[in-house]
Amino acid sequence: MADIIQLLPDNIANQIAAGEVIQRPASAVKELLENAIDADASEIKLIVIEAGKNLIQVIDNGKGMSETDARMAFERHATSKIRVIEDLFKIKTMGFRGEALASIAAVAQVELKTRKAEDELGTFIEIENSEVLKQEACASPVGSSISMKNLFFNVPARRNFLKSNAAEMRHIIDEFIRVAMAFPQVFFSLTNNGQQVFHLEAGNLKQRIIQILGNNYNAKMVSVNEETDYMNIYGFVGKPETAKKTRGDQYFFVNSRFIKSAYLNHAVNSAFDNMIAKDSFPSYVLFIDLDPSQVDINVHPTKQEIKFEDEKIIYAFVQAAVKHALAQFSIAPSLDFTLNAEIQSLDAVSKPFTSEIKEAASSSNLFKTFTQKNQAHKIDANEKSELKHWKSFFESEKQEVKSEKLEFEQKVTTSPFTFHLSQFLQLHNTYIIASTNNGFVLVHQQLAHERILYERYSAAAHGKQMATQKSLFPVTLELATADAALLQDILPDLFSIGYQIEPFGSNTFVIQGTPADVLQGNEKHSIELLIEQFKHFSSDIKFSKREKLIRCMSRQQAIKAGQALTQKEMQSLVEELFQCDAPNITVTGSPTYLEFKEDYLDKMFGR
């Protein structure tokens, strides 16, 4: 009987390796940029066409390669960075696994031009499907230029899985930013379809952060710098006012390599305790340098997840360093730390008591009655008094309650319940208790409103165009490059749910109109928050771009827990909820209301 186990041919083995290393154009960008860094380049240019599907080219002025090295670089497990097994545990370079170029050559048409300073001529190599088609001497500047054309040309199934150009471009920008942020002393540029997206002059870390994340960070960053024998930590954290409702601009680098670590992220968050709202996230760009033998960076093909020898020490150190930085720059409030963060951010607490404010306060009637001799008991009751007449205050309240009572003693017939609307009650400004014909329902106002909005936006996105409110004075929105790329990608979907936004030059947009139920004057914040939420939405591929957008919008625009509602608002909310196709749950599966029947209540009391 013939043997059936065979060695895979090289080109197939390379394609399997490529599946680990190169998932999309951005993966190749990361590997090529890291190789340019390892070549000690001081200038690195990235050129892409059609979001990297047609071309990714990286040009650097680094050391370059000899003719033999240029050829060897495309062999599997070929690397200049590891000689003995011990080297694996003290890696100081970026690309070290010897897979990148072999993987790229397996799934693209690759051309390399390279020259070392001491050589007169450089080397030109052309490879396709892991086979060298051409190798010859050529004129070339010192350094390397590597072009990767037609990604996945020989694996059509993989090519079909690539997303739209705008979506793939976002991933490329993310990878570019991560490398460029880590090496501010290097010049970087990024050009897409002939248009320059980034031009980052060499400088210090603060300059690079501002170049990438935007000028609004200029006066809003606090320097972090702590050194010990075990490790160093340096970089910047955003002041509390830069905190965002989603994980905004958060960058961690270990030995100059971008990493993702929920553990370290928690360390930074805990340093901001009581300075930012519980549901907010601080911004930071932090670098940890420590002995490479204390870190295992080879636990994941993309090298973005790492393991520390002693995580607890790192956690404590990061937390202490950030706390120290915030205290040093008087960011930590001198107020009681138990004071609610929202109170601390009020103008009365955070802004200085100027002479104008003092003058306005001291000229008021109320001030005078309390400061003049024997007047502390006297409250001026004239027409211009700052205090309302208590009597008229109660009169108007009575009128309002009376008119509301008349309005709400109707029945809601569209729901499965019959409501006694005169008996609505709001509990903790979060729950609505509505009496029904055989018990009561307890509605969670935020979750209920999310369901209502989800169905409304969903209908709009699938054909029933949503009403758009034209802005009387169109608002201009300027975004960081990565956010601008994302917004460009979701513009058609935003249009379907009532937003009218037009590109207006590089990274700038004009908001011409918004969905009718978005508050006027809040358009800019609404879009910025939407981008943040969309960026950090679950990466679960079962959701389309449009579905993610609808979910983000319904979460963002929903009435929040803690918001007081009038009888009219409670009625409207409950009515609309029970007109929904699925009134009982949110899209994530949480209940929107609980029903308590009369017989159940009787049983509870042993009746």
401 three-class SS: helix
Does 307 share its domain with 449? Answer: no
Q: What HEC string does 163-191 produce?
A: CCHHHHHHHHHHHHHHHHHHCCCCEEEEE
pLDDT (mean) for 406-415: 44
Q: What are phi and psi for residue 195, nearest 5 degrees?
A: -105, 130
Q: Of 74-88, 498-512, 513-527, which one has max mean pLDDT? A: 498-512
> Has residue 337 got a pLDDT over 60?
no
pLDDT (mean) for 90-113: 74
Does 494 share its domain with 545? Answer: yes
- Residue 46 pLDDT: 97
- Residue 386 pLDDT: 46
User: In what order do the strands lie in the sheet containing 143-149?
Assistant: 131-138, 122-128, 109-115, 143-149, 55-60, 43-49, 187-192, 195-200
Kindly state the percentage of the chain with pLDDT values over 90.
Answer: 29
> Has residue 340 got a pLDDT over 80?
no
> Has residue 97 got a pLDDT over 50?
no
Does 273 share its domain with 394? Answer: no
In 201-346, beta strands by DSSP E: 221-227, 231-238, 250-254, 257-259, 284-290, 295-296, 307-308
- Residue 129 pLDDT: 85
- Residue 457 pLDDT: 86
Burial degree of 10 (CB within 10 A; 0-12, 13-18, 19+): middle
Say if 1 falls within a structural domain. no
**Average pLDDT for the chain:** 79
Residue type, 109: Q
More confident residue, 496 or 172: 172
- Residue 353 pLDDT: 53
Q: How does 115-150 read in b/e, with b if 16+ C-beta sit within 10 Å?
A: bbeebeebbbbebbebeeeeeeeeebebbbbbbbbe
Least confident of 148-152, 246-250, 494-498: 246-250
> Has residue 546 got a pLDDT over 70?
yes
- Residue 122 pLDDT: 95
- Residue 229 pLDDT: 85
CA distance 205 to 470: 42
More confident residue, 440 or 245: 440
pLDDT (mean) for 517-532: 78
- Residue 607 pLDDT: 76
User: For strand 143-149 and strand 431-436, is the pairing parallel, antiparallel, or unpaired?
Assistant: unpaired
Q: How many CB atoms lie within 10 A of CB 234?
A: 17
Q: Write out pLDDT tens, residues 492-509.
A: 888 888 889 999 888 899
Does 97 share its domain with 67? Answer: yes
> Has residue 54 got a pLDDT over 90?
yes
| Cβ 113 vs Cβ 123: under 8 Å | yes
Say if 221 falls within a structural domain. yes
Q: Look up residue 9 and give its DSSP letter.
A: P
Q: Write out pLDDT tens, residues 111-141.
A: 999 999 999 999 999 999 888 899 999 999 9
Say if 353 falls within a structural domain. no
Does 44 share its domain with 84? Answer: yes
- Residue 184 pLDDT: 96
Among residues 138, 175, 212, 144, the alpha carbon closest in space to that of 23 is found at 175
Q: How does 382-411 read in b/e, with b if 16+ C-beta sit within 10 Å?
A: eeeeeeeeeeeeeeeeeeeeeebeeebeee
Does 413 share its domain with 553? Answer: yes
CA distance 101 to 73: 7
Say if 476 falls within a structural domain. yes
**Tally of structural domains, the chain:** 3
138 three-class SS: strand
Domain of 296: which CATH number? 3.30.230.10
Does 442 share its domain with 553? Answer: yes
Say if 241 falls within a structural domain. yes
User: Both tokens of residue 232?
Assistant: 């160093």
Residue bearing tokens 């929040």: 560
User: In what order do the strands lie in the sheet containing 431-436?
Assistant: 425-427, 431-436, 439-444, 593-597
pLDDT (mean) for 228-244: 89
Say if 586 falls within a structural domain. yes
Does 219 share its domain with 302? Answer: yes
Domain of 555: which CATH number? 3.30.1370.100
- Residue 92 pLDDT: 56
- Residue 44 pLDDT: 97
- Residue 216 pLDDT: 80
Does 198 share its domain with 232? Answer: no
Residue type, 72: M
User: Both tokens of residue 389?
Assistant: 């007449």
pLDDT (mean) for 260-278: 85
Say if 336 falls within a structural domain. no
pLDDT (mean) for 212-234: 88
- Residue 79 pLDDT: 57
Does 165 share its domain with 248? Answer: no
Residue 311: band (very low, low, confident or very high) from pLDDT cuts 50, 70, 90: confident
Residue 281: band (very low, low, confident or very high) from pLDDT cuts 50, 70, 90: confident
Does 163 share its domain with 277? Answer: no
- Residue 203 pLDDT: 93
| Cβ 224 vs Cβ 325: under 8 Å | yes
> Has residue 371 got a pLDDT over 80?
no
- Residue 408 pLDDT: 42
Q: Which residues pair with 575 in a beta bridge?
A: none
Domain boundary residue, one of 156, 175, 203? 203
307 three-class SS: strand
| Cβ 56 vs Cβ 25: under 8 Å | yes
> Has residue 431 got a pLDDT over 90?
yes
Q: Which residues pair with 44 in a beta bridge?
A: 60, 188
In terms of residue numbers, what domain contains 53? 10-203
Domain boundary residue, one of 203, 221, 247? 203
Q: Write out pLDDT tens, residues 531-540.
A: 888 876 655 5
CA distance 277 to 279: 5
pLDDT (mean) for 572-585: 89
Kindly state the percentage of the chain with pLDDT values over 70.
Answer: 74
Q: Write out pLDDT tens, residues 437-451.
A: 888 889 999 999 999
Domain of 153: which CATH number? 3.30.565.10
Does 128 share its domain with 108? Answer: yes
Domain boundary residue, one of 157, 185, 203? 203
| Cβ 314 vs Cβ 264: under 8 Å | yes
More confident residue, 465 or 274: 274
